[in-house]
Structure 1
């Protein structure tokens, strides 16, 4: 590791595995704790756990091996983090800033159900990125503010190390999107399958480099 690398945070971002809502594209946010992983989701996160356990060895041998594990407080991310903890030997620290977007009144609804009740609003919410979901929800820009704060604090605490962050589709997209200086309305262009991994490096001056985005777990 070079002198410059000792100041860089490597963040390996792991999306949770499949839940009963995932195949249907329902808006599953942070407004409720659940749902849990499906049987397939459990197999997916086992594959993701094996992958991230190899960081610094078989995978990305030039990076430090993971030495910390952070997870969103949601049930699905805690279950995913438990599999990662078992594979890596790391303990899980929970940070609410990694939680999924709060979808407000859209929580648990299918896209067609949202469009029927709020015609046109879902499309604007996606493409604008600055508008909050109805009923006390968040905008994608809101999510980006808290995940940027999370990464800044992690870099200060874990400079020169690799941290695993178990999170969600919107929260991971926000970290990738802000790293590329993309507007919030464009963050939906990232495809992040269940239990996929993405890798960022955060430098002391805030410059953030994307090493990978949405790598599948192999299940």
Structure 2
């Protein structure tokens, strides 16, 4: 059976990442360090054949995708459904500020992220549904190819839960670092997570150790 390989990449660091602010749909650019992370990932992907590149339409993801894709001469395909979770009234706030101002809402969301809608925002169930529909649509059009998908920590964790059939409480059970690489091999309706959050390209920046298949 013909396989499709999908490289799932979280965008590079932003100043809001660095200061611990929840970004959501806020359109924040990469920081200088985030651009360097993406450049290191570009070097890593120079050894990989890519057929197509898809990205969230938010700037931090688009910038990351464009840096990686440049040596391949590929068009960047923007997919709004890959956006980060909408944090509503929490956007721009730190963890400590959210806890202080929305303690009940925060606790309910942590206990049941799938069903709980953030005030003015959305639930992880809503994120999973839109991201998974976008992912499956890409697969339907691009079967048998090597694909790069650049998105966000929350939307990618929800997507991976959807791919693996996990309950959305599992979004708290794994992490995705800035420019972390995950790999999914797809054989028809069967999808296998091959790699999760590999960051060995960041070792020169003091990033976590890792071993990869790229």
Asked whether 1:37 is paired with 2:30, we answer yes
Asked whether 1:12 is paired with 2:11, we answer no
3-state SS of paired residue (2:15): coil
2-side partners of 1:23 and 1:133: how far apart?
Answer: 23
1:62 equivalent in structure 2? none
126-135 vs 166-175, which deviates more?
Answer: 126-135
Q: How does 1:97-176 map to 2 (within 5 A)?
A: 97-129=81-113, 130-135=115-120, 137-176=121-160
Q: CA offset at residue 99 of structure 1? A: 0.7
1:209 equivalent in structure 2? 192
Q: CA offset at residue 52 of structure 1? A: 2.6
Q: For each residue in 1:56-81, what CA deviation from the matched residue of structure 2 results, as whole angstroms up to 9, or x when unmatched?
A: xxxxxxxxx21000111111111111
Asked whether 1:180 is paired with 2:150, we answer no
Query: Does the aligned pair in 2 maintain the 1:9–1:154 contact within 8 Å?
Result: no
Q: CA offset at residue 124 of structure 1? A: 2.3
2:212 equivalent in structure 1? none
2-side partners of 1:158 and 1:127: how far apart?
Answer: 37
User: Which residue, out of 38, 47, 50, partners 2:40?
Assistant: 47
Asked whether 1:23 is paired with 2:18, we answer yes
160-169 vs 84-93, which deviates more?
Answer: 84-93
What is the CA RMSD across the aligned residues, in angstroms? 1.4
Query: Does the aligned pair in 1 maintain the 2:132–2:163 contact within 8 Å?
Result: no
Q: CA offset at residue 112 of structure 1? A: 0.9
Unaligned runs of 5+ in 1: 56-64
Q: 1:72 to 1:110 in 2, by over 3 A?
A: same
Q: 1:208 to 1:123 in 2, by over 3 A?
A: farther
Aligned residues: 201
Q: CA offset at residue 201 of structure 1? A: 2.0
TM-score, with normalisation over the residues of structure 1? 0.87
73-82 vs 182-191, which deviates more?
Answer: 182-191
